[in-house]
Chains A and B, each alone.
Chain A
Amino acid sequence: MTFQSILFERAEDRGDVDNPPAFFCDLNLDQVVNAITKGREEYDLKPFFYQPLRTVQTVEYRHAIMRDLENSSLYEHVKSFAQKIRAMNQHLSQAQKLYYKYQKQAWFLDAVEIYCDAVNCLKMDISTVDLKSRGLIALRAYLKEYIASRRFQSLYADTKKLKVDLSRVKYCVLIRASSIKVRKYVSEADYGADVVETFTKFKQDAINDYKTKLPSAPDMNHVEAKILEFVVRLYAEIFQNLDDFCGTNRDYPDDTIAAFDRESQFYIAWLEYTARFKNAGLEFCYPQISDTCKEVYDYEGFDLALADKLISENESVVCNDFYLKEPERVIVVSGPNQGGKTTFARMFGQLHYLASLGCPVPGREAQLLFCDKLLTHFEREENSTNLRGKLQDDLIRVHDVLNQATSSSIIIMNEILTSTTLQDAVFLSKNIMEKIVTLDAVCVWVTFIDEMASFNERTVSMVSSVVPGNPALRTYKISRSPADGLAYAMAIAEKYRLTYDCIRERIKA
């Protein structure tokens, strides 16, 4: 099978998406993707992150490539290839900007030289690595074939010859008053060295540098251009060859290789992004993916966007575990505010979305659902333009979500129905829960309604916890336990000396 693309094994896997999915902001995936693609704007990588894969096989294609690239030497090889191509592109755009013909040609020739070097090195480097992935093995074969081709071989040879010839060009300029004379260099003595020689006997240790930092822009003024024109005349044959070369090789880069340069950045960007988490002691793993099994789990997972922020502030990151066993489908998260509930819900969504891109996911070990749709409902600012009340708005959105959802979907609900009475909220929630359970979708539901936690055997209760002695201190741990706000409330009360005994004591005086 010939090499197509490092991201899509078959041409038909390629999609055409330019906009982020609806839930991107809810899950803070926009922040994650911004961080991943930062500094790589020229590759236009975001569309790749907007486009979940469609089959489990395509996920495995990427997993294998990612695993190969985790080999640090291969990773460095691909990175150095990318750097060279980047330099090549800078040369080409510089050539565009310049005015004088021979300057354009100079930058063009350098660009071609860098290209040849990049391709040659990549082939050589990649052949020293033990590859496992179909994608990279196919690439290796492709490179071998391309480099052996006549097209590449003559490009390479011509470039080398021209560079050697041009490096031998050496000329003299005599400046006297307003005139310049240009001629070939004929071993005139180095005058500066003469001066040094005369005074060398005074040489002491200390040395100042008086060389002026003369500015050097890539373009030329007309005096330099004039000199170059004379040099071209002095070395006419070499420059004629250069001229021919530039004409012949205008469209030298190979399309497949150019595409590899762009698409490999998907992996490189991901690995570079995750390195800082790994340095902070966090783990990533290749999840097992299934489109049927709903017994999902992840141990020591975390929210990437939050962890990124915490690491840069030198704070520690709290990891969380979850699992669903048959017949469990819905995780109901309750507990104190600011205890990491939303973070947990986001993490759940992020894990599943990243898995659908073929990326490794935060955690030590994971089994995830290859879902057909990821649907989220996070609390929104009140929207005055749609003239609906907040509760109404909430319900309409929930309705939309449930309409789209199938039994292979994942639904994430975060603190909905807050703008009504508790009694209403309980009633509405129970109805919605009934529908979700009937649908047999996998769901995470963050709520303040404890009753939801023990809805039926399909629901699992997870609670954000606090340090018993100091309830103000959050652990950000979310763990399976019955929803019971009481212990937490008592702890807070004690802290503020508002328990029964405390208040009696305080009021006595």
Chain B
Amino acid sequence: MKAFLMFRDRDFDPRRTIPKHEPALTQDLELTTLFNAMALGDEVLFDVARSAVLPGADNDLSTILYRQDILRDCLKQPTIVRDMYAIAVDAIKGEKKSYRHIFTYPGAVLNESVEVLQLFVILLQRLKNIADKHAGGFESDGFKTFFAMLQRELNDEYFARVEDQLEELTFSAGVLISAELGKGYKGVNYTLRRNADRQRGWVQRIFGSKPDEYTWRVHPRDESGAKALSELKDRGIDPAGNALAQSADHILSFFSMLQTELAFYLGCLNLHEQLTRKGEPTCFPVPAEPGERRLSFSGLYDVCLSLNLKPRVVGNDVNADNKDLVIITGANQGGKSTFLRSIGLSRLMMQAGMFVPAECFCSELCTNIFTHYKREEDLTMQSGKLDEELSRMSTIVDSVTANSMLLLNESFAATNEREGSEIARQIVGSLLEKHVKIIFVTHLYEFAHNLCEKKMQNAIFLRAARRTDGGRTFKLVEGEPLQTSYGEDLYKEIFDGYSRTPNQCAV
């Protein structure tokens, strides 16, 4: 029995290997803010959100649509989904309370397993009741299959059989064990057997020939004999105890998987509720096959920024379909980084099967997302700054593939503009040839300007808008790079706003 709520035909692995560049991605896109909003303090939710959203899972188009449908159901029936999640949590907590991992002798393993299984049976029954009552209200393939599976596998007959068997495992009629001669004729291959006496009909019992049989009784005061007898019994029930304990494990992992997979949708519900409360728009994105060059959206905003701010944040509208390269230039503090982040975040969310923070959003799938942001000076003094930047770039190049997306934020600015531009030109040029999609926020005027001069069909240039009075709109518009980034504005803003004490100058 499988939940299959993340993939049509396989389990979701919350412990899958997170890509090497995950720390950079998390830092640059402020993913922790997103995960926290999804988790609301729940560790499981956090971990699942993290491993579902981080790239490398290679979800194909149909998986994304599969999850989108399930998520739509969840948004319609949040209470029922949360109820099912609670059942899974109860099962896991109940199992944790048992002593089955403390006792290791077979009798105890068996008894504890029987108890845990009895608890599981009750919870499975509850899950099945939900299926019986609410299955009709769900439309997605995922949930329909899931409920049908519960109804098929967990019928009344099955519950009766399980209860019967758990009852029988108390061994009121004695333990029957078969064995063969091992080394030194000690018993081996101890196997627990069904006692045939119980199954034989009365005719056989009366007329069937009774097999040769020898009986012996341990003397009541023979303590070592009693101990030996119980050891022998242990050997007999050990495999059954093992089988039972493994069964408990299996059911537990069913519940764990159910919890894990529902946790993703619960995280989505949590995030959705917060955004809706603020009046921020969300939509289900339209994914396109990898390789197609689609990137168009309206009202796209940075979900992390929005989660941290009281007021609604500014959304952007861009049509960069058929473009391989997006160059963003313009005013400092003009919303360039925010914009870059909003693209990265929404791509990740889309590829995980989530809704995105936009009014509408369409993009092709990319095989991987990399970020290369300007970093603080290396404190360990092990390498110069450009050295450090290029070394990070080199690691990215190690793992980048066709149809990856690369977000560059003020890269290669650690040297003078001419050199930086030349480095950027060579790197960007070669990566484009390798079909890497690049979104590049840059102050390297020479670089941006030269590209623009070339009138490339597959490049688009965006600029942070600036009102004539120097104020910012935080909107990006299509436009050629300018030679200034309006740093003067920023300078004025900071310096004129404060009294000029030396300390603050340093800031």
**For chain B residues 150-164, which have a beta carbon within 8 Å of chain A?**
153, 161-162
Is B192 at the interface (CB under 8 A from chain A)? yes
Is B244 at the interface (CB under 8 A from chain A)? yes
Q: From B218, which residue of chain A is reached at the shortest CB distance?
A: A178
Cβ contact within 8 Å between A221 and B181: no
User: 0/1 per residue, A213-237, Cβ < 8 Å to B?
Assistant: 0101011111110111011011000
User: 0/1 per residue, B173-196, Cβ < 8 Å to A?
Assistant: 111111111011111000111111
**Chain B residues in 8 Å Cβ range of A228:** 185
Query: How near does chain B come to A35, taking the closest CB pair, in angstroms?
Result: 35
Q: Interface segment, A183-191, A421-429, A485-493?
A: A183-191
Q: Interface segment, B208-216, B323-331, B344-352, B354-362?
A: B208-216
A103, A198, A220 pick with most chain B CB within 10 angstroms = A198
Q: From B172, which residue of chain A is reached at the shortest CB distance?
A: A176
**Chain A residues in 8 Å Cβ range of B235:** 214
User: 0/1 per residue, B230-247, Cβ < 8 Å to A?
Assistant: 011111101111111111
Cβ contact within 8 Å between A210 and B185: no
Q: Interface segment, B79-87, B102-110, B307-315?
A: B102-110
**Of B179, B214, B218, the contact of A223 (CB 8 Å cutoff):** B218
**For chain A residues 33-61, which have a beta carbon within 8 Å of chain B?**
none
Task: Knowing A205-B11, A228-B185 are in contact, say whether A223-B215 is a contact too (CB < 8 A).
Answer: no
**For chain A residues 166-202, which have a beta carbon within 8 Å of chain B?**
166-167, 169-186, 188-196, 198-199, 201-202
Cβ contact within 8 Å between A191 and B181: no
Cβ contact within 8 Å between B173 and A176: yes
Q: From A171, which residue of chain B is reached at the shortest CB distance?
A: B179
Cβ contact within 8 Å between B229 and A214: no
**SS class of chain A's interface: helix, strand, loop or mixed?**
mixed
Cβ contact within 8 Å between B229 and A186: no
Cβ contact within 8 Å between A214 and B214: no
State the CA gap A211–B105 with chains docked (Å).
9
Task: Knowing A107-B184, A198-B247 are in contact, say whether A183-B175 is a contact too (CB < 8 A).
Answer: no
Is B19 at the interface (CB under 8 A from chain A)? no
**Chain B residues in 8 Å Cβ range of A227:** 187, 232
**Of B165, B218, B231, the contact of A194 (CB 8 Å cutoff):** B165
Cβ contact within 8 Å between A204 and B228: no
Is B254 at the interface (CB under 8 A from chain A)? yes
B212, B215, B246 pick with most chain A CB within 10 angstroms = B246
**Chain A residues in 8 Å Cβ range of B234:** 212, 214
Cβ contact within 8 Å between A231 and B216: no
User: 0/1 per residue, B102-127, Cβ < 8 Å to A?
Assistant: 00111001000100000000000000
Cβ contact within 8 Å between A186 and B196: yes
**Chain B residues in 8 Å Cβ range of A210:** 109, 113, 241-242, 245-246
Cβ contact within 8 Å between B187 and A230: no
State the CA gap A4–B173 with chains docked (Å).
66
Is A207 at the interface (CB under 8 A from chain B)? yes
**Of B174, B194, B218, B245, the contact of A189 (CB 8 Å cutoff):** B194
Is A110 at the interface (CB under 8 A from chain B)? yes
**Chain B residues in 8 Å Cβ range of A175:** 174-177, 229, 232-233, 236
Q: From A180, which residue of chain B is reached at the shortest CB distance?
A: B216
Cβ contact within 8 Å between B211 and A184: yes
Cβ contact within 8 Å between A202 and B175: no
Cβ contact within 8 Å between A167 and B214: no
**Of A192, A216, A223, the contact of B232 (CB 8 Å cutoff):** A223
Count A-side interface residues using an 8 Å CB cutoff: 66
Query: How near does chain A come to B191, taking the closest CB pair, in angstroms?
Result: 6
Is A246 at the interface (CB under 8 A from chain B)? no
State the CA gap A102–B182 with chains docked (Å).
12
Cβ contact within 8 Å between B184 and A178: no
User: 0/1 per residue, B37-52, Cβ < 8 Å to A?
Assistant: 0000000000000000
Is B225 at the interface (CB under 8 A from chain A)? yes
Cβ contact within 8 Å between B246 and A230: no
**Chain A residues in 8 Å Cβ range of B229:** 175, 178, 180, 223
**Of B104, B162, B215, the contact of A212 (CB 8 Å cutoff):** B104
Is B253 at the interface (CB under 8 A from chain A)? yes
Cβ contact within 8 Å between B251 and A202: yes
Is A148 at the interface (CB under 8 A from chain B)? no
State the CA gap A171–B326 with chains docked (Å).
79
State the CA gap A211–B241 with chains docked (Å).
8
**Chain B residues in 8 Å Cβ range of A191:** 176, 191-194, 240
**Of A103, A179, A182, A202, the contact of B250 (CB 8 Å cutoff):** A202
Is B224 at the interface (CB under 8 A from chain A)? yes
Q: From B254, which residue of chain A is reached at the shortest CB distance?
A: A202
Task: Knowing A175-B229, A186-B211 are in contact, say whether A220-B186 is a contact too (CB < 8 A).
Answer: yes
Cβ contact within 8 Å between B253 and A166: no
Is A248 at the interface (CB under 8 A from chain B)? no
Cβ contact within 8 Å between B217 and A179: yes
**Of B109, B178, B218, the contact of A170 (CB 8 Å cutoff):** B178
Q: From A233, which residue of chain B is reached at the shortest CB distance?
A: B214
Is A402 at the interface (CB under 8 A from chain B)? no
Cβ contact within 8 Å between A174 and B175: yes
Q: From B211, which residue of chain A is reached at the shortest CB distance?
A: A183
**Chain B residues in 8 Å Cβ range of A234:** 212, 214
Q: From A222, which residue of chain B is reached at the shortest CB distance?
A: B225
State the CA gap A175–B237 with chains docked (Å).
11
Task: Knowing A174-B195, A223-B225, A226-B216 are in contact, say whether A106-B176 is a contact too (CB < 8 A).
Answer: no
Task: Knowing A180-B216, A186-B211, A220-B186 are in contact, say whether A207-B243 is a contact too (CB < 8 A).
Answer: no
Query: How near does chain A come to B122, taking the closest CB pair, in angstroms?
Result: 15
**Chain B residues in 8 Å Cβ range of A193:** 243
Is B226 at the interface (CB under 8 A from chain A)? yes
State the CA gap A477–B137 with chains docked (Å).
92
Cβ contact within 8 Å between A201 and B249: no
Interface residues, chain B, CB within 8 Å of chain A?
1-2, 11, 104-106, 109, 113, 153, 161-162, 165, 169, 173-181, 183-187, 191-196, 211-218, 220, 224-226, 228-229, 231-236, 238-247, 249-251, 253-254, 257
What are 17 A-to-B residue pairs whose CB atoms are below 8 Å?
A: A102-B185, A171-B178, A172-B176, A175-B174, A175-B229, A179-B215, A179-B216, A183-B213, A188-B194, A191-B191, A191-B194, A195-B169, A199-B243, A204-B254, A214-B238, A221-B224, A228-B185
List the 6 shortest-distance A-B pairs measured between CB atoms, nearest first: A176-B174, A199-B247, A223-B228, A188-B193, A210-B245, A202-B250
Please give 5 more A-B residue pairs, beta carbons under 8 A apart, in addition to A103-B186, A178-B220, A201-B153: A179-B218, A188-B193, A212-B238, A220-B186, A234-B212
